[in-house]
Structure 1
Amino acid sequence: MSANHPLGSTGADAAERETADWKALKGDVEGIADVAVERGRGFVDAARAHATDYVDQRKSDAARSVTDLAKSVRDSSKTFDDRPNIRAFFDSAAEGLEQLGSSIEKRSFSEFYEDAEAFARRAPVAVAVATFFTGFVVARFIKSTSAAPLPDSRTDYRA
C-alpha cells in the first residue's frame, strides 16, 4: 500500500488510467487511419485522372489510325476503276472504317467498357474462345522468340 493513494483506490486508478490510455491510443489510431484513407482517396483520384487522360490520348491515336487506314483503303480502291464490284467492296470497307474511327473518337472509355461487358454477358462462350485463342497465340509467340536451347554435351560425344 502506498502513502500517496488511499486504501483500495490504486487498483481502480490503474484501471482508469489503462482505460484512458486505450481510449487515447484508439483515438490516435483512428486519426492515423482517417489520414491514410484521405491520402488513399487522393491517390486513387489522381491515378484515375491520369489513367483517363492516358486513355483519352490513346483513344484519339486509335481513331486517327483507323481513319488513316480508311483513307488508304479508299485510295487503293481507285486502282479498281475498271472493276466496279471490287471498288464497291473497298469503298464499303473504307466507309465502315471511317464510321469506326468517328465512333472511337466520340465515345468515352466507360462506354467502351460497358459495351465490352455487355458483349461478354451476351456471348460468354465467344469471349472464352477468344481468350483461349489469344492465350494460345501469345504462348506460341513467346515460345518461338525464346532463345534456342543449348545442345546437351552428353549427346554430342557418344561412345
Structure 2
Amino acid sequence: MGANRDDLLAEYYLKAAGVAAVWIDRDGLIGSQDAARLHLEEGRVAYCCPRGANFVLAYRLQLWKEDNEHVSAPRQAAIAARLEELADEGGVGITPHSIAIGRGRAAVAEVNARLAAMKAKGELRELNHSFKSARAVDPSLRYAEFLEAKKAALLEALARANAISR
C-alpha cells in the first residue's frame, strides 16, 4: 500500500528540517539514513539526529560494537544504550524515531489546519489567483498538485523557522 499525501509531506518536512536517522536491527546491524523515513523495517530501533551527525554516530557505534564482540555480540538494547551515550559524549541531540515522526506529522497537521482556516475565512483568493496564473502557463497543472507544492513550501518555511528557534 502506498503512502498517503500527508505521510509524503511529513517525510518531506523531516528532510527539509535535516532530520537523519541511525538504526539498529534486532541482529545488531547498524545503519544510517540521510533522511529519516516514517516507517521502520520490522525489528529496528531508530533514533533521529541532525543530518551529518548520523554517519559519525553510526561509525562510532560500529567501532564500539566491533571492540566488544569478543566477549559476546551486544544485544540491540545495549547497542541503543551505547548510541545514546555516544550522542551525549559528542553533544549531539538524538530523539527516538517515534517522537521525530510525530513532530513531522504535527507540522503537516499545522499546515493543513492553517489552510483550512484560510479557506473557511475566504482567504485563499491570492492562492487561487496564483494557481490560475500557473495554469495559464501549464494547462495540465491540477489544483491538488499545486496545493501540495504550496504545502511543501510552507513545510520548508516551518522547518527553517523551527531550526532557527532551537
Could you say which TM-score interval applies, normalised by the shorter chain? Answer: under 0.3
Question: Which gives a bigger RCO, structure 1 or 2 (Cα 8 Å, sep 6+)?
Answer: 2
Which TM-score applies when normalising by structure 2? 0.25
* Bigger fraction of residues in strand: 2
* Bigger fraction of residues in helix: 1
Larger radius of gyration: 1
Which TM-score applies when normalising by structure 1? 0.26
